[in-house]
């Protein structure tokens, strides 16, 4: 149609257009100059966030989301130097923190506000507490991912009476703007995105080693904080009232301490609670694994051959998401029960070595070590994507890749090409660390379930009468699991059916619950 319209135009109209164009060249140049100036002004505005009104709300959310994206997975525009020796202070004069840039606090506050809207149970918990402070006197030291969702948890703990100090459990997952907002709000945070291994342990030590502040509760994710205090500050470790741990790696370490007789405080195993296993591990990973893969690699999923190592709740979520987009999913599994579940869900259960030459992606979800070894990576096809959805970075044998004959090439933040002498390469994401929190973001609502469980576990351990909990690892009471679930049901306008007295008696339970035995998982 465009060509037909042009053909109907006369030579006179072309001449007239040329005359009009020549007469407007100066005007167009002025417009261009004005546009360039306007774009520069917009760029400067983005650098200096100001208070915004209702008219610019959509732009505010868009900018905040973009900042979240860059915090979560790019970070390339950030100053890559360590802030350890850079003095910083909040607007109120607090300097007991170490983050990347306190000037990002306003953006971080917006991210936290958005997350709060998807975390209803913590808001309800605070409201139901009313004027009571069940954590009054608690000094909670945390080592978790520092994201908008965990920020909502920290601020909830503060509203419930606790004092908090925090470090990051992962060198890539900290969102710098959120860390800045927490520091500006009065919480001592020691974390930034892209820490070195030395920075990581320095931050934990600074978090613990305050002369005027000693913790009496620990909230851990991975066991690193517990390990550091137990090893370097044994006197503090012995005085703790309790530990709350949410990862399979950290729970494994706690059970080791208990077995060796070196766990001298009670600990709560949140990882094996129903609200963690069946919601965070399953649904969070189901929604976030694709996000992390696509943001880092722009990969097309349809028709790809994938191996998911492990068919626990994390593996189940990853497999379901990948299958829904048309990938051909293979599963490796050591547990015959999980292997049978994978078979009956329609997945082929194999050993990694059987298909490693053909697959396009390998995703680890086991919580174990050296699941993907050098002998596997030597045989992978060119361009195979290798990543980890388990908490710990030991699932992929990275040590074997740090050799002279292999060349590492950083192509994007958290994306490395590891190149063999023949030119073949694999695509390694987040240096083998947790993909979703290192390279993308996660659903706030699912994390609300875990965060509420953690808060209640802290309250339970802190307020329990002396003698209720011994020096051992405990599972969350089933009644508490059910309470956490009930707090989230109003979001879906869900209405529970109430048992009659006769029905409760028939089942041998109270009609008000708990509805499952404590061993139910």
Q: Is 241 known as a binding-site position?
A: no
Structure tokens of 235? 């006197």
- The string of DSSP codes covering 158-191 is HHTT-EEEEEESSTTT--HHHHHHHHHTT-EEE-
User: Do 359 and 427 contact (CB within 8 A), yes or no?
Assistant: no
Structure tokens of 322? 């990948």
Q: Is 42 known as a binding-site position?
A: no
Do the bridges between strand 425-429 and strand 217-220 make them parallel or antiparallel, or are there none, so unpaired? unpaired
Q: Which residues of the chain have pLDDT under 50?
A: 1-77
Q: Which pLDDT belongs to residue 393?
A: 83
Angle between helices 105-117 and 57-69 (to 10 degrees): 100
Q: Which pLDDT belongs to residue 52?
A: 37
CA 369 to chain centre: 21
Q: Is 246 known as a binding-site position?
A: yes
Residues with Cβ within 8 Å of 92's Cβ and at least 6 positions away in sequence, in order, are 184, 186
Query: Where is 384: in which H helix or E strand?
Result: strand 384-388
Q: Is 310 known as a binding-site position?
A: no
Residues with Cβ within 8 Å of 109's Cβ and at least 6 positions away in sequence, in order, are 181, 184, 185
Q: Is 333 known as a binding-site position?
A: yes
- The string of DSSP codes covering 28-61 is HHHHHHHHHHHHHHHHHHHHS-----GGGHHHHH
Q: Which pLDDT belongs to residue 181?
A: 98
Structure tokens of 420? 């063999």
Residue 448 in 3-state DSSP? helix
Question: One fold for both 84-272+464-496 and 282-439?
Answer: yes
The domains of the chain are located at: 84-272+464-496, 282-439
The answer, yes or no, to whether the previous bond of 59 is cis (omega within 30 of 0) is no
Distance CA 245, CA 261 (A): 18
Q: Report the 10 Å Cβ neighbour count for 114.
A: 15
Domain 84-272+464-496, second-level architecture: 3-Layer(aba) Sandwich (3.40)
Q: Which pLDDT belongs to residue 520?
A: 79
Q: Is 431 known as a binding-site position?
A: no
Cα 425-431-432 angle, rounded to 5 deg: 100
Q: Is 473 known as a binding-site position?
A: no
Q: Is 280 known as a binding-site position?
A: yes
Give CA separation, 154 vs 98, 103, 431, 450, in Å. Answer: 17, 20, 28, 13
Q: Is 315 known as a binding-site position?
A: yes
Which of 152, 116, 155 shows the shortest CA–CA distance to 135? 155
CATH number of 282-439: 3.40.50.720
**Where are any strands of DSSP class E within 162-315?**
163-168, 188-190, 217-220, 242-245, 267-269, 305-309
């Amino acid at each position: 149609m465009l060509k037909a319209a042009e053909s109907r135009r006369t030579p006179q109209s072309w001449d007239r257009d040329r005359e009009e164009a020549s007469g407007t060249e100066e005007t167009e140049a002025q417009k261009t100059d004005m546009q360039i100036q306007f774009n520069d002004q917009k760029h400067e505005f983005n650098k200096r966030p100001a208070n915004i009104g209702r008219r610019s709300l959509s732009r505010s959310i868009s900018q905040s989301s973009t900042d979240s994206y860059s915090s979560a997975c790019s970070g390339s525009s950030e100053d890559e130097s360590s802030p350890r020796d850079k003095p910083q202070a909040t607007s109120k004069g607090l300097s007991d923190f170490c983050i990347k840039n306190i000037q990002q606090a306003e953006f971080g506050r917006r991210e936290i506000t958005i997350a709060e809207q998807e975390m209803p149970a913590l808001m309800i918990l605070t409201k139901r507490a009313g004027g009571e402070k069940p954590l009054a006197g608690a000094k909670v030291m945390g080592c978790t991912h520092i994201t908008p969702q965990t920020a909502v948890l920290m601020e909830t703990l503060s509203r419930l009476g606790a004092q908090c100090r925090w470090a990051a459990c992962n060198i890539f997952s900290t969102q710098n703007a959120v860390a800045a907002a927490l520091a500006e709000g009065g919480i001592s945070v020691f974390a930034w995105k892209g820490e070195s291994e030395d920075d990581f342990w320095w931050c934990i030590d600074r978090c613990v080693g305050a002369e005027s502040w000693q913790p009496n509760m620990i909230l851990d994710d991975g066991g690193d904080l517990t390990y550091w205090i137990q090893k370097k500050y044994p006197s503090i470790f012995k005085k703790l009232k309790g530990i709350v741990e949410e990862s399979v790696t950290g729970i494994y370490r706690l059970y080791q301490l208990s077995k060796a007789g070196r766990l001298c405080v009670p600990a709560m195993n949140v990882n094996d609670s129903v609200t963690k296993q069946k919601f965070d591990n399953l649904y969070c990973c189901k929604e976030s694994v694709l996000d992390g893969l696509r943001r880092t690699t722009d990969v097309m999923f349809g028709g790809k051959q994938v191996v998911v190592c492990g068919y626990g709740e994390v593996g189940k979520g990853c497999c379901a998401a990948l299958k829904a987009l048309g990938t051909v999913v293979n599963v490796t599994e050591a547990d015959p029960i999980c292997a049978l579940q994978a078979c009956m869900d329609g997945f082929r259960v194999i050993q990694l070595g059987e298909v490693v030459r053909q697959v396009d992606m390998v995703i680890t979800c086991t919580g174990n070590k050296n699941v993907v070894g050098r002998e596997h990576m030597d045989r992978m096809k060119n361009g195979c994507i290798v990543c980890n959805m388990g908490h710990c970075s030991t699932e992929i044998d990275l040590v074997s890749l740090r050799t002279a004959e292999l060349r590492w090439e950083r192509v994007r933040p958290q994306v490395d090409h590891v190149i063999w002498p023949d030119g073949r390469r694999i695509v390694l994401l987040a240096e083998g660390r947790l993909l979703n929190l290192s390279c993308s973001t996660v659903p706030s609502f699912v994390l609300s379930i875990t965060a509420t469980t953690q808060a209640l576990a802290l309250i339970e351990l802190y307020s329990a009468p002396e003698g209720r909990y011994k020096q051992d690892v405990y599972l969350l009471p089933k009644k508490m699991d059910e309470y956490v679930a009930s707090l989230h049901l109003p979001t879906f306008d869900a209405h529970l059916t109430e048992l009659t007295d006769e029905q409760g008696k028939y089942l041998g339970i109270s009609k008000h619950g708990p509805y499952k035995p404590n061993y139910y998982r």
